[in-house]
Amino acid sequence: MHFKARAGEKLADAALQENLSKAKDRFVGMRARGMLELDDVEATREAAKALRDRVLDDLDLWLEKFEQSATRSGATVLWARDSAEICRHVVDIAHRHGVKKVAKSKSMLSEEAGLNQALEAAGIQPVETDLGEYILQINDNEAPSHIIAPVFHKNKDEISALFARTHRRPALTDIQALTREAREVLRPHFLSAEMGISGGNFLVAETGSVALVTNEGNGRMVTTLPKVHVVITGIEKVIPTLEDLATLMRLLPRSATGQSISNYFSLLTGVKKTAESDGPEHLYFILVDNGRADLVGGEFAEMLRCIRCGACMNHCPVYQSIGGHAYGWVYPGPMGAVLTPLFTGIENALDLPQAATLCNQCGVVCPVKIPLPGLLRKLREKQVERRLRPLAERLALTAWAWLAQRPRLYALATRIGVRYLAWLAKDNASGGRNDRIRILGVAPEWTLGRDFPAPEGKTFRELHAARKGKP
């Protein structure tokens, strides 16, 4: 199904619309309050942007540095070109260590790779442990609709029914009780899983560590209890130092949920030391390309600064109207509208860069100052360059370009056009003029979901000529 059809479906989904409108302003207010605690938000954003660019400008060298540090600390560093290779690595590691069950903390890369399906096919049981991701998993592996709030689209009644069905327990209506039930169901999995899989918020080159940010504590569980820990993360996640980590940690939780710091924030380096009673005996990093390397140094390289906070979607009028599923792939909202065509092919996501108002709310709140509307505009240009726009649109633009280069003809055409629109706006009953056009005669589709503002009846050049000389 294409984006337009999906978006239309989501707009007509009354339950979804109610869930979205309830959550709408909450994230916006929380972020605004969180940012007030910083003395200089702009300087902090500039510093974060600069340190992300520092790495991306020499990404090969920083990756080598990270690899050296991580290997020295006792970890194994693996590389994956694509989804298939991620799955192959994870299944190999699982077989090597006799793993039957995997406890997973949230990882968007695992969503990119379809890892759960690959594990199940290999006879290994994956258990999602982030509450939101767990809810999706037991709902027949539904896709997340938000990168930090995976069940943004669901209300508690839907979750209550799902829990009652899956856990075969009486249905609970209270959110606190639902959360306790998930805790009770998941605790034994943490204790029995032989392998933990996590994403990585950042990779620190100085120490060869992964930094992990969670609120629930599941990230700590899956990286402390199982004997094997596998980190799956994109190659762009490297940062230089622990000082840089401190800078980014002032922005990431605030941008995401308005928290001045998330509940748990762990820096994990190497494996369990002799005499230590907990911690994994084996630590693997899987550094994933999946389309990222080709963006380095190019016109979309700024997108690689992204730290996956979700602020862009929380502030996006389009996301707030249709939710995350309409976007069709792993990443929704403005960052998803840029990443999806770049990672899956421009020709496979033609609608996403168009489905934006370019209002720049996303650009204003982005903690690492990614010019998201600019990148969306660039993607639109690519579509035109590669002749991927529909024939009617291409013909219309060609005609307009021809006309625009002939000033007299252009003046005549616009005078006819504007009078036609004024005629459409005429109110036949009263003989007066409406300020909106309900149905646009030549292009009725344009006014399917909105009115067209009625023009005055004269072109700009006519009005300008008439007023020339007047004060």
Partner 1 sequence: MSSREDILGRIRANLGRNAANATTDRAALDAYLQARPQGPRPRIGGDLATRFREKSELLSSTVEEVAVSQAAPQVIARYLATHRLAPHAVCWPELAELPWHEAGMQVEVRAATGSDLVGITGCFCAVAETGTLMLCSGPDTPATTSLLPETHIAIVSAARILPGMEEAWNLARAELGEMPRAVNFISGPSRTGDIEQTIVLGAHGPYRVHIVIVRGA
Residues 26-65 binding partner 1 (CB under 8 A) are 26-27, 37-40, 43-44, 47-48, 51, 54, 57-65
β-strands 228-234, 238-239: how paired?
A: unpaired
* Cα angle, residue 312 at apex, residues 311 and 314 outer, rounded to 5°: 60
Q: Considering the complex, what minimum distance in angstroms separates the CB of residue 375 from partner 1?
A: 17
Q: Which is nearer to partner 1, 93 or 151 (CB)?
A: 151
List the one residue from 76, 139, 179, 360 that touches partner 1 (CB under 8 A): 179
List the one residue from 159, 197, 307, 316 that touches partner 1 (CB under 8 A): 159
The answer to whether the beta carbons of residues 181 and 172 sit under 8 Å apart is yes
Q: Determine if 268 is a binding residue for partner 1 (CB under 8 A).
A: yes
Stretch that binds partner 1, among 109-117, 233-241, 345-353, 445-453 (CB under 8 A): 233-241
Distance (Å, whole) CA 196 – CA 328: 28
80 - beta bridge partners? 288
Helix (H, G, I), strand (E, B) or coil at 204: strand
Q: Considering the complex, what minimum distance in angstroms separates the CB of residue 133 from partner 1?
A: 9
Residue among 142, 109, 86 at smallest CA distance from 343: 109
Residues 61-90 that bind partner 1 (CB under 8 A): 61-65, 73, 79-81, 85
Q: Considering the complex, what minimum distance in angstroms separates the CB of residue 148 from partner 1?
A: 9
**Neighbour count for residue 173 (Cβ, 10 Å):** 9
Q: Which is nearer to partner 1, 48 or 326 (CB)?
A: 48
Residue among 340, 338, 339 at smallest CA distance from 375: 338
Q: Considering the complex, what minimum distance in angstroms separates the CB of residue 235 from partner 1?
A: 7
7 dihedral zone (left: phi>0; alpha: psi -120 to 50; beta): alpha
Residues 292-311 that bind partner 1 (CB under 8 A): 293-294, 296-298
Helix (H) or strand (E) holding 42: helix 41-57
Stretch that binds partner 1, among 1-9, 254-262, 331-339, 462-470 (CB under 8 A): 254-262
At 56, list the tokens.
């991306």
Q: Binding marks (x or -) toward partner 1, 400..419, rule CB under 8 A?
A: --------------------
Q: Determine if 7 is a binding residue for partner 1 (CB under 8 A).
A: no
Residues 234-253 that bind partner 1 (CB under 8 A): 235, 240-247, 249-250
Stretch that binds partner 1, among 148-156, 316-324, 367-375, 418-426 (CB under 8 A): 148-156
Q: Considering the complex, what minimum distance in angstroms separates the CB of residue 110 from partner 1?
A: 17
Stretch that binds partner 1, among 260-268, 316-324, 395-403, 454-462 (CB under 8 A): 260-268
R_g (Cα) of the chain, nearest Å: 26
Q: Determine if 260 is a binding residue for partner 1 (CB under 8 A).
A: yes
Q: Determine if 23 is a binding residue for partner 1 (CB under 8 A).
A: yes
Length of the chain: 471
Contacts of range 377-381, beta carbons closer than 8 Å, 24 or more positions apart: 377/353, 378/299, 378/300, 379/338, 379/341, 379/342, 379/346, 379/352, 379/353, 380/353, 380/354
